[in-house]
Amino acid sequence: MRIKTGIRAATNAAKNSQYMDYRVGAALFMGSRFMGHGWNWMKKTSPASNSRFKCIHAELHCLSPFIRKGIDLTNAHLFVVRLTPNNLLAIAKPCKYCQEFLKDLGLRAIYYTNRVGDVEVMTI
């Protein structure tokens, strides 16, 4: 799995986001095989909802079809990037809620862009 390929796929996913100021994209790979992608979007929940995800984070959007089907993700790699309005890479470290469910899924590694647009890896 080439990191550049994963980051490029996540970057393309981020371009689908409607939030110009905060576009996040995620891409999932199994080995070198692209499995799917996701981006952040607003969920229309009832005001009475106590869902902690008012905004669907890119990681969850990307992984939910696999979670629903019960697909084993223990060998998967996830790539997460954030784009600035000028299309520069910005910090995309998964939030603590995403980290929790990523940990439960047992993903092999999560690659994300940091404050200066470099790629960091998290194994959880």
**Residues forming the site for Zn ion (CB under 5 A):** 57, 95, 98
Quickly count: other Cβ atoms within 10 Å of residue 15's Cβ: 11
User: Which of 72, 100 has the CB closer to Zn ion?
Assistant: 100
User: Which of 13, 98 has the CB closer to Zn ion?
Assistant: 98
Whose CA is closest to 121, among 109, 103, 104? 109
User: Which of 6, 38 has the CB closer to Zn ion?
Assistant: 38
Distance CA 72, CA 117 (A): 30
Q: Report in angstroms how near the CB of residue 94 gets to Zn ion at its nearest.
A: 5
User: Which of 35, 98 has the CB closer to Zn ion?
Assistant: 98
Quickly count: other Cβ atoms within 10 Å of residue 56's Cβ: 17
Q: Report in angstroms how near the CB of residue 85 gets to Zn ion at its nearest.
A: 21
Q: Report in angstroms how near the CB of residue 57 gets to Zn ion at its nearest.
A: 3
Q: Report in angstroms how near the CB of residue 7 gets to Zn ion at its nearest.
A: 18
Contact partners, residue 41, CB within 8 Å, separation at least 6:
17, 18, 55, 56, 61
